[in-house]
Amino acid sequence: MFTFSALEGNRVKLVPLETEHIQPLFECSRNPDIWINYPFSITTTQEMHGFVTKALESRERNEQYPFAVFDKERNEYVGSTRFLRISRLGAVKEGLLRKKYYKMDYFIYGIIDREWKEIRNRLEGYLGNEGT
């Protein structure tokens, strides 16, 4: 299993998602405009519980890594984000899953062993520049 710790910048801190974040995430997601471009919406605490539980299950399967977003200036959680199927960052497009989840198309990316050294060096370069 991948292990990630908190990621912190000047304004926000990404905290590995846990069930303790259900209520704060529900509270910050009340504006219906948030859900306009999503294939679903969360309108109850139970739906947020399901959303978080599903994200944690995906983390256990090494499919993605979810974070709660904490705004340090406001001193509150303001949302969530995740490394979704860890498919960006220099990977090559392998294929397309048409209408796979939520009736949306998903592209699949991959990195093979001979590509890894160059990609790793580039990613470590990003970290050396503190993500800027």
Q: Convert the pLDDT of each residue in 50-89 to its tens digit.
A: 999 999 998 888 778 899 999 999 999 999 998 875 547 7
Does this model's pTM top 0.85?
no
Number of domains in the chain: 2
Residues 74, 111 share a domain: no
Residues 74, 108 share a domain: no
Residues 76, 105 share a domain: no
- What's the pLDDT band for 46 if we cut at 50, 70, 90? very high
Residues 60, 100 share a domain: no
- What does the pLDDT look like over 101-125, one tens digit per residue? 777 777 788 889 999 999 888 877 7
CATH code, domain carrying 37:
3.40.630.30
Residues 30, 18 share a domain: yes
Instruction: Please state the separation of Cα 44 from the chain's center in Å.
Output: 21
Domain containing 116: what range?
87-132
Residues 77, 25 share a domain: yes
Cβ-Cβ contacts under 8 Å for 57 (sequence gap 6 or more): none
Residues 106, 42 share a domain: no
